[in-house]
Structure 1
Amino acid sequence: MRASRLLSILLLLQTRGRMTARELADRLEVSVRTIYRDVESLHAAGVPLYGDAGPSGGYQLLEGYRTRLTGLTADEAESMFLAGLPGPAAELGLGSVVAAAQLKLKAALPLELRDRAERIQERFHLDAPGWYRERDELPFLPAVAEAVWNQRAIEVRYRRWAPPHLVNRRLEPYGLVVKAGRWYVVARSGEQVRTYRVWQIQELHPLDEGFERPAGFVLADYWLGYLREFEERLRQGQATVRLSPRGLERLGDMMTPGVVAAARESASAPDADGWVTATLPIEGAEHACSEFLRLGMDVEVLEPAGLRDLMRRHAAVLARLYGE
């Protein structure tokens, strides 16, 4: 918080010129004494900041001094205004904070870069969640985020897919990840580091217990490894299928990237009607059947025989339903 406040003082003086200690205190919602201490810290850091006494006095920066934020290139400045996702920030209770930070950054930019940043905000909008589903209700997300930030353990009641469906867990949360609009917390439970979906937390109780993050733990590296392992666990079987041109195209909208990549790598040359034969990883017969049925007439399962028979039986039921 203090580092953020020091930066805010710099940006306010840079954009507004002279300001009194009272004006700075009111703007930053701190005491005048706190502003005095912050100004001393900026002096000690070598910032050319000086103040004048009297009714028309106040603090100001030495003429020509600019913070190093003005060293941003055009591409760097534009990327800063693409990086903030308003949805996830709002879910964390930081929507107004992100907006304020962008305003401060914009104030620190030279006029040309400021105009480019404003055009970015006018012309691009990032919407993280996928189609056809509502955003998760996340009453415990702020509490999880606070535990992550302060390195405090939490006790949760968690709903799992497999029985027993409700379990109690003591978690040491290392980090939060948002993927496709869904929030996950990476946490140690017992001797293992696992991934938990925040939406499935039914109860949460903060504990008065701290913990130490493992040396060398990098959240982004863990997440990439988790995704690879998840894909490997999920797809342990194979199916040989024929796909129409439209089926091959629709595959990208309906299957995971791993399945799509396998289809493209294994696809045979198109036959006279444009159909290709490909080998796809599958989780199991029932799950694969439900996925392939979504492709309708644009897929034919060749192997394994059990999956082909399951598709045939589903098709027979559909034929009876629509036979009249």
Structure 2
Amino acid sequence: MRASRLVTLLLLLQNRGRMTARQLAEELEVSVRTVYRDVEALAAAGIPLYGEAGHEGGYRLVDGYRTRLTGLTAEEAQAAFLAALPGTAADLGLGEALAAAQLKLRAALPAELRAHAGRIQERFLLDAPGWYGDPDETPHLAAVAAAVWARRAVVLRYRRWRAPEEIERRVEPYGLVLKAGRWYLVAGGPSGTRTYRVDQVVELTPQEEEFTVPDGFGLAAYWQAYLADFRARLHTGEALVRLTPEGARRLGVTPGVTLGVPPVEDGWTQARVPIESVDHAHGEFLRLGAEVEVLEPAELRERIAATARALAVRYRSEN
């Protein structure tokens, strides 16, 4: 355990420069006294580090000193290769850079860890997009990514679902998110921070002016809040339905467990289920065919009954 901590301490100083004993203790989750002992051990082992007293003091390595020691465990090396998605890197124009980085990382690893990393690529493949539908065309993804890296504003011509269907807007790109095979741009604009589907960008014009991300903004925290808000708005109503055992299975509910309502004698289950809208629920319940009967709301029941009548007429036998 201590050997691993010494490596971590050394790498912290190498990557961050000067750090105080208090900062190192917080990073390593040990006491300041333990940091003092670890620093003495590194110095005794010949590592060229020194301490500076005073308010601006701390520990640092001698300028120019770099260690080739990666400090990676077998699990950390596996995770590094598992997290590197070739398709994602290629989308961002970093495919060659990723391949080169993996070669360098592999070369820096001891033989045993190289074997572990190689097995990851042989046995695991991450394919983010869903099964149905062609992948989104994102011809402007590389330009969006470049603006995110450079912290430069862009003018988007953007296609959306409501009128006006095409808008032009100057935005400040904060970050990119890949969700279920689809790229989203998180950007600040006239109406605050918004999320844009990159495949709906019709035209993009880079601007010269740079911007600063607002204090306190975190991409991961924003995305989690965005998802929570999306889910809260997704199901704004409910429907009262009767389901056969097959209908309950296909709808993903378990009578008496998920619904809290046991089946009645004929095997049907009555339950209230959340719906996004009447239009959306109309299509979803039609997919269940005769395995479901909608009781409420009346508008949804009548919509499905009207569709059933139209289908009966269309498929009525001529005989």
TM-score in terms of structure 1 length = 0.73
For residue 117 of structure 1, report the CA deviation from its aligned partner: 1.7
2:69 — aligned with what? 68
1:44 — aligned with what? 63
Tell me how far apart the structure 2 counterparts of residues 104 and 138 of structure 1 sit (CA, whole Å).
30
Residue pairs, 1:1-324, within 5 angstroms: 44-47=63-66, 67-69=68-70, 71-251=71-251, 265-272=258-265, 274-324=267-317
1:11 — aligned with what? none
Q: Secondary structure at the match of 1:68?
A: coil
| 1:61-91 deviations in Å (ceiling 9; x for gaps) | xxxxx6332x222222222222122222211
For residue 248 of structure 1, report the CA deviation from its aligned partner: 3.6
For residue 246 of structure 1, report the CA deviation from its aligned partner: 3.5
With over 3 angstroms needed to count, the CA separation of the structure-2 counterparts of 1:270 and 1:90, relative to structure 1, is farther
| 1:13-47 deviations in Å (ceiling 9; x for gaps) | xxxxxxxxxxxxxxxxxxxxxxxxxxxxx983323
For residue 231 of structure 1, report the CA deviation from its aligned partner: 1.8
For residue 234 of structure 1, report the CA deviation from its aligned partner: 2.5
Q: Secondary structure at the match of 2:206?
A: strand
Q: Secondary structure at the match of 1:135?
A: coil
Tell me how far apart the structure 2 counterparts of residues 209 and 316 of structure 1 sit (CA, whole Å).
61
Q: Is the 8 A contact 1:178 1:184 kept in 2?
A: yes
User: Which amino acid in structure 2 is aligned with residue 234 of structure 1?
Assistant: L
For residue 318 of structure 1, report the CA deviation from its aligned partner: 2.0
Identity of aligned residues (%): 56
2:38 — aligned with what? none
For structure 1, the 5+ residue unaligned runs are: 1-5, 8-41, 48-65, 253-259
For residue 323 of structure 1, report the CA deviation from its aligned partner: 2.6
Tell me how far apart the structure 2 counterparts of residues 205 and 243 of structure 1 sit (CA, whole Å).
53
Q: Is the 8 A contact 1:88 1:181 kept in 2?
A: no
Tell me how far apart the structure 2 counterparts of residues 320 and 43 of structure 1 sit (CA, whole Å).
86
Tell me how far apart the structure 2 counterparts of residues 87 and 298 of structure 1 sit (CA, whole Å).
41
Tell me how far apart the structure 2 counterparts of residues 248 and 123 of structure 1 sit (CA, whole Å).
37
User: Which amino acid in structure 2 is aligned with residue 68 of structure 1?
Assistant: L
